[in-house]
Amino acid sequence: MKTSNTLWAGLCAVVLLFSHCTAPEKKEDKTNIQKRIAMNKLVKDHHSYSAPNESRVKHLSWNAEVNFETRIITATATFDLINADDAKEVIFDVKDLSNYQITVDGKESAFQLGEDNNLLGRSLTIPIQPESKQVSISYETSPEAGALLWVDGEKPFLFSQSQAILARTWIPCMDSPGVRYTYDATVKVRKDLLALMSAENPLEKNDTGVYSFKMDQPIPSYLLALAVGDVEYRAIGDRTGVYAVPEMIEAAHYEFQEMDEMLVEAEKLYGKYVWDQYDVLVLPAAFPFGGMENPRLTFATPTIIAGDRSLTSLIAHELAHSWSGNLVTNSTWDDFWLNEGFTVYFEMRIMEAVYGREYSEMLALLSQQGLISENEEILGGDNPEDTELKLSLEGRSPDDGMTAIAYDKGYFFLRLMEEKLGRERFDKFLKEYFTAHSFQVMDTERFIDYLMANLLSEEEAAELDIKAWIYGKGLPTNMPKIDSDKMVKVDALAASMADNSDVSTLPWNDWKYQEKVRFLSQLPEGLKAPFMAKLDATFDISNIGNNEVLFEWLEQSIYRDYDTAFPRAEEFLVSVGRRKFLTPLYKAFKETGRVDLAKEIYTKARPNYHSVAIETMDELLK
């Protein structure tokens, strides 16, 4: 596979070169070049039924109508195809779609649906000829479509979450990260709502309720996104801005002021931002993630609006994906660390550039703390091999790969190279890596080849122990050390706490949120409810506006039997759907013998959650 990939890439490069030659007889037909590049052999993705080496989509025209009453999207997806010379069929991924009507080049066509699989959905196979140009699929989504969350209200809201393999629940598609295509769309919605996509977006509502979209750069299916709601836009800089509901637009505009500076710093580090516009859409609190890097329009949880711009590292992260992930894309979900590890590394560099090293080191310390504990947990579980950077998720949900390993082990591996080789050398390498592989896929093996050809000598690779980092379980002993005097002080203070301590002398109000989180997480085990009550009375932590601190506080409160905070925990669990917060809190209730309370809260909260959160909590509380 590896050699043939390189071969194909090589071939394409040669073809491209020749296309610029002057001798006309040596010129290859332009469409042929396009075709060869587009057919650049892809490795098999076990999370997609599609067969892109036989017939591949290159453009999507999506025409849709969104119905909030029935919770159904009725749509037609028209795809332009590029086929291999012997192509007989084109295969799409679909899940819970219905009412198909299909044409090939305008003529009604037969089609075949494969067996329904819980995880992958089904294949939709359409017979074609090698010269077939276009297939058009009319269909309807299910009210239970896994990607979509319909939020009720006087002004209802709809948003999608396609990553990793949920795009197929709202658009029939080749749902594999290696298949990229451009798209345009026309979407009809209620007249009092605005529609937005991962594309060139409207700035305000119009009175037809019909909106047009265009994405001229090819993207993989997992970056297809749609949101519909009563949202407004406010610009931040020339290329940046924020969308939010009217009640939140002011606060969001304030919170994300530094976005423009982040973009400038990001470009200084690893090259030009190629997507023109970078906006953030603040979603309802039910959004199951912190952020999602939908091109041109990051989707974000409102839980990062703290009022003091303290949680903007999430924006730096999603912005960084504009290079790592959206430009250079993991080949399959087994290579997820190439998306996320690189992005955490880039995120930390942006944070350092904008807020200083002291600040970013505190973030790095929290990331290392989380990594060490999750690594232990995974090593002690059923799939210890999930602590390897290169995953094998065949037959399992790609979601299983969304752990601190891809994110933070990936980050520390890259940071180790930076530290050992020097920043200058490493930055030059990374910048070239992004440029050389723009709009292409990358897998772990090709990355290692590239690393060895462009950065490391054999001796350096051996010294860094790159094989242990990538293919070994757990955390290598040469993991970088964090240098944060501030956190050392916090640790000492936390360790010194006792039931009779005078907490009013703690520098709580001077601390950055990272120090608060760290302090709460490092308190001696024996401190229980009385100590927590004292902290709460002194600093009113149960009412803090920073959700990262609140989350840590609630988790500690449960483990330390501080039941005064339980109603606050319940309120939080019912109103927030961000899985990173939900899982540890329900788990804490469960582990402290309060599974009944956990289930009671979950019963109330579940109708508000997105399918990806429901899946995890159902499993946890079954």
β pairing state of 148-151 and 107-108: unpaired
The CA-based diameter of the chain, rounded to the nearest angstrom, is 89
Closest approach of Zn ion to the CB of residue 283, in Å: 16
CA distance 471 to 488: 32
Calculate helix-pair angle for 595-605, 566-575, nearest 10 degrees. 40
CB atoms within 10 A of CB 160: 27
Closest approach of ligand BES to the CB of residue 586, in Å: 17
Closest approach of ligand BES to the CB of residue 459, in Å: 34
Calculate helix-pair angle for 444-454, 2-19, nearest 10 degrees. 60
Amino acid at 388: E
Closest approach of ligand BES to the CB of residue 496, in Å: 32
Residue 314 binding result from Zn ion, ligand BES, none, given CB thresholds of 5 to 8 Å by partner type: ligand BES
Residue 548 binding result from Zn ion, ligand BES, none, given CB thresholds of 5 to 8 Å by partner type: none
Nearest C-alpha neighbor of 44 from the set 327, 333, 329, 326: 333
Q: Of 279 and 340, which has the nearer Cβ to Zn ion?
A: 340
CA torsion sign for 177, 178, 182, 187 is: negative
Of 255, 265, 293, 318, which one is the catalytic site residue?
Answer: 318
Q: Of 229 and 291, which has the nearer Cβ to Zn ion?
A: 291
Residue 374 CB contacts under 8 Å (≥ 6 apart), including other chains: 403, 404, 405
Residue 580 binding result from Zn ion, ligand BES, none, given CB thresholds of 5 to 8 Å by partner type: ligand BES
Q: Of 39 and 166, which has the nearer Cβ to ligand BES?
A: 166
Of 49, 233, 407, 586, which one is the catalytic site residue?
Answer: 407
Residue 590 binding result from Zn ion, ligand BES, none, given CB thresholds of 5 to 8 Å by partner type: none
SS3 368: helix
Q: Of 387 and 547, which has the nearer Cβ to ligand BES?
A: 547
Q: Is the preceding omega at residue 498 within 30 degrees of 0, hence cis?
A: no
Closest approach of Zn ion to the CB of residue 434, in Å: 16
Q: Of 209 and 220, which has the nearer Cβ to ligand BES?
A: 220
Q: Give the burial class of 255: count Cβ atoms within 10 A of its Cβ; 0-12 exposed, 13-18 middle, 19 or more buried.
A: buried
Residues contributing to the site for ligand BES (CB under 6 A)? 163-164, 289-293, 314, 317-318, 321, 340, 402, 407, 580
Contact (Cβ atoms closer than 8 angstroms) between residue 544 and residue 559: no
Closest approach of ligand BES to the CB of residue 595, in Å: 26
347 classed as catalytic: no
Q: Of 5 and 221, which has the nearer Cβ to ligand BES?
A: 221
Residue 290 binding result from ligand BES, Zn ion, none, given CB thresholds of 5 to 8 Å by partner type: ligand BES
Closest approach of Zn ion to the CB of residue 344, in Å: 7
Residue 410 binding result from ligand BES, Zn ion, none, given CB thresholds of 5 to 8 Å by partner type: none
Buried-state track 350-380, b at ≥16 Cβ within 10 A, e below 16 = bbbbbbeeebbbbbbbbbbbebeebbeebee
β pairing state of 55-67 and 180-188: parallel
Residue 291 binding result from Zn ion, ligand BES, none, given CB thresholds of 5 to 8 Å by partner type: ligand BES
CA angle (525 as vertex; 523, 528 as ends), nearest 5: 85
Question: Count of residues binding Zn ion (CB under 5 A)?
Answer: 2
Contact (Cβ atoms closer than 8 angstroms) between residue 486 and residue 358: yes
318 classed as catalytic: yes
Residues 317-376 that bind Zn ion (CB under 5 A): 340, 343
Q: Of 156 and 291, which has the nearer Cβ to ligand BES?
A: 291
CA distance 592 to 524: 17
Which residues of this protein are in contact with Zn ion, per CB under 5 A? Answer: 340, 343
As annotated, the active-site residues are 318, 407
